[in-house]
Amino acid sequence: GQQVMQIPQYQHVQEGEDFTTYCNSSTTLSNIQWYKQRPGGHPVFLIQLVKSGEVKKQKRLTFQFGEAKKNSSLHITATQTTDVGTYFCAGSNTDKLIFGTGTRLQVFP
Amino acid sequence: EAQVTQNPRYLITVTGKKLTVTCSQNMNHEYMSWYRQDPGLGLRQIYYSMNVEVTDKGDVPEGYKVSRKEKRNFPLILESPSPNQTSLYFCASSLNGGLLLETQYFGPGTRLLVL
C-alpha cells in the first residue's frame, strides 16, 4: 500500500539554527499537506501543495513539492522556541490522506 | 466558533467493555475521519466517511466500528477493546473528500487506556 516516510524522526536545534524535514512517498501524490502538532495538542493545518515543483513560503517556513510529486520538504529558517512541535506531511492520491511518521522538533534557547 | 469536538477527552477502561467515542463538527463538512496516533507511527487512519451513510475502512480498521447517520456526528465504537487499542485518537473533518482533499480540522483528541 501507499507509504509516506518522513525523516528525521527527531531533530534538536539551537534557537536561530535552520531546520528541514523531508517527506517521501512510495507513489505519486495528487497533493501534499503539512501539519504542525504542538506538544499535547492536535494537528493543525499549515499548507497544501498541489503543483509539481511548487514552492510556498509562510514567513520563516518554506515548503516544496518535488517535480515528480513524490517528495516534499519543509524548511524553517532561524528557528524560534515557538517552532517546537511535531511536523507531519500528509499525501493523497485517492480519497485517503496518508500521514508521514512526523518529525519532532526541539529548539533549545 | 467552527470546531470539531470529541468526548471523552480521557478514558480508562478494561478489556472487553464496549465504549464509544463521540465526534461532532459544526462546519457542515461532508468528510469525516478517525485516526489513531502512536509513538513512531504517526497518524494512521481507522475509518473515514465521505458523506452521510457512506463509510469506508482506512489503514487500521480492525477492532473498530463507525456510523454516519447524521452529517455532523461520526462516533467511533470499540465493541470489545483490547490493550493494543490504547492510543491517542483524533477525529477530523473536511469540507469534501476526493482527490484534492481539503484542509482537515482535527478535534482535541481522546486519550484511551485499555487495561
Do strands A71-76 and A19-25 pair parallel, antiparallel, or not at all (unpaired)? antiparallel
pLDDT of residue A60: 97
3-state SS, residue A24: strand
Tell me the average pLDDT across A63-69.
96
pLDDT of residue A1: 66
Q: Which three cell numbers stand for residue B89?
A: 485518537
- The rounded average pLDDT for each run of 10 residues, N- to C-terminus, in chain B (115 residues) is 94 97 96 93 92 93 97 97 98 80 90 97
Q: Which three cell numbers stand for residue B83?
A: 490493550
A98-107 core/surface letters (b: 16 or more CB in 10 A; e: else) = bbbbbbbbeb
Mutate to test the interface with B, among A7, A96, A101, A104 (most CBs of B within 10 A): A96
Q: Which residues from B are below 8 Å from A45, CB to CB?
A: 103-105
CB contact under 8 A, A95 and B97: yes
